[in-house]
Amino acid sequence: MGDVIVCTGRGGTGKSTFAALASRCLNSPKLLIDMDPDESLADMLGIDLEANGKKTISAMLYEFARERVGRSGYNVFSELLSRVLDDCLYRDGGFDFISLGTKFAVGCYCAPDAVLKDFMPTVVQDYEEVILDSPAGLEHFNRKVVVDIDDLFVILDPSEKSVKHIRRVLDIAKELRVNYHHLYLVGNYKFTEETEEYLRSSGETYLARIEYDPEVKEYNLKGKPLLELSENSPALQSVKEILAKAGLIHKGAV
Ligand SMILES: Nc1ncnc2c1ncn2[C@@H]1O[C@H](COP(=O)(O)OP(=O)(O)O)[C@@H](O)[C@H]1O
Ligand SMILES: [Mg+2]
């Protein structure tokens, strides 16, 4: 298995945009995992799961639970694993994709989270890069869906809350024993050279900020896949530079 990359941060900072653009730059075979019940990453990647006969993990589980009523004596683990691979794993030439999905029933996300967590080691072993996009905030750390992270990218907006957020990420990871090899701070498109100073002086590894890109704004507004952005998109170039600084792509490729 290759690198496990997680994008985290507060709401609306640009995590999913970063994950989608990163998927364009990293080595294949690669797998993208959307841990946000909001399911926006699929749209950014131009994926229509339903049209491709695929389901989110939440939808698959709902169906599975209904079918199981009254049945017993069979191997739930192996059946669920084949369901994840057959029903939920979207395969494409460029990358594969899996989504936690929205749960249209009362209750927490413990069951879909547990499926993702339990099957992660099996599902991710064939990929060179695995990119996980997180929901807003810190709860996904508590859910411990991923506990061994290579590169944790914290996408920040220029606010006092963001600076506090960095501290909370460090504390919660330590407290819950979420391991990461590298933690990288990334300034979102709202940072200026001046406000970047906050991140440079934070004591953590600050990589760079993502340039404001009107096309990204427009594509997201219209639901156009970010994979169609032109190669010279300022946001894409920033993400490439950030990944190169993190040692995930060779400088020459930027
Ligand atoms: N580099 C950028 N330039 C302009 N707008 C951006 C950029 N990155 C993200 N955005 C905008 O910020 C908003 C939030 O982005 P998104 O990736 O959905 O954030 P998150 O996943 O953190 O909630 C979207 O409207 C998106 O178009
Ligand atoms: Mg998002």
State residue 237's pLDDT score.
Answer: 97
State residue 254's pLDDT score.
Answer: 46
Helix, strand and coil content of the chain, in percent to the nearest 5, comes to: 45, 20, 35
User: For ligand 1, what atom is nearest to the CA of residue 210?
Assistant: 1
Amino acid identity of residue 215, one-letter, is E
The ligand placed nearest to the CA atom of residue 157 is 1
Which of 3.30.1120.10, 3.30.565.10, 1.10.443.10, 3.40.50.300 would CATH assign to domain 3-253?
A: 3.40.50.300
CB of residue 19 inside a 6 A radius of ligand 1: no
Which residue spans within the chain are E strands per DSSP?
A: 3-9, 30-34, 90-91, 96-99, 129-133, 148-156, 179-187, 205-209
State residue 70's pLDDT score.
Answer: 66
State residue 251's pLDDT score.
Answer: 47
Interval between CA 83 and ligand 1 midpoint (Å): 33
Tokens 């364009």 belong to which residue?
24
CB of residue 121 inside a 6 A radius of ligand 1: no
State residue 190's pLDDT score.
Answer: 97
Interval between CA 12 and ligand 2 midpoint (Å): 7
Q: Look at the pTM and tell me if it is higher than 0.85.
A: yes
CB of residue 103 inside a 6 A radius of ligand 1: no
* 74 phi/psi in degrees, rounded to 5: -135, 165
CB of residue 237 inside a 6 A radius of ligand 1: no
Q: pLDDT per position in the chain (254 positions), as tens?
A: 678 999 999 999 999 999 999 999 998 899 999 999 888 999 999 999 999 999 999 999 888 888 877 666 667 777 888 899 999 999 987 899 999 988 666 677 777 888 888 888 888 888 999 999 999 888 888 778 888 899 999 999 999 888 889 999 999 999 988 999 999 999 999 999 889 988 998 899 999 999 999 999 999 999 999 999 999 999 999 999 999 999 998 644 44
Domain extents in the chain: 3-253
Rg (CA), the chain: 18
Structure tokens, 72:
């017993």
Candidate from 10, 16, 17, 38 with most ligand 1 atoms within 8 A of CB, to mutate: 17
CB of residue 42 inside a 6 A radius of ligand 1: no
147: phi > 0 → left, psi -120 to 50 → alpha, else beta; which? alpha
CB of residue 213 inside a 6 A radius of ligand 1: yes
Candidate from 191, 220, 242 with most ligand 1 atoms within 8 A of CB, to mutate: 220
The ligand placed nearest to the CA atom of residue 135 is 2
Classify residue 242 by burial, with Cβ atoms within 10 Å: 0-12, 13-18, 19+: buried
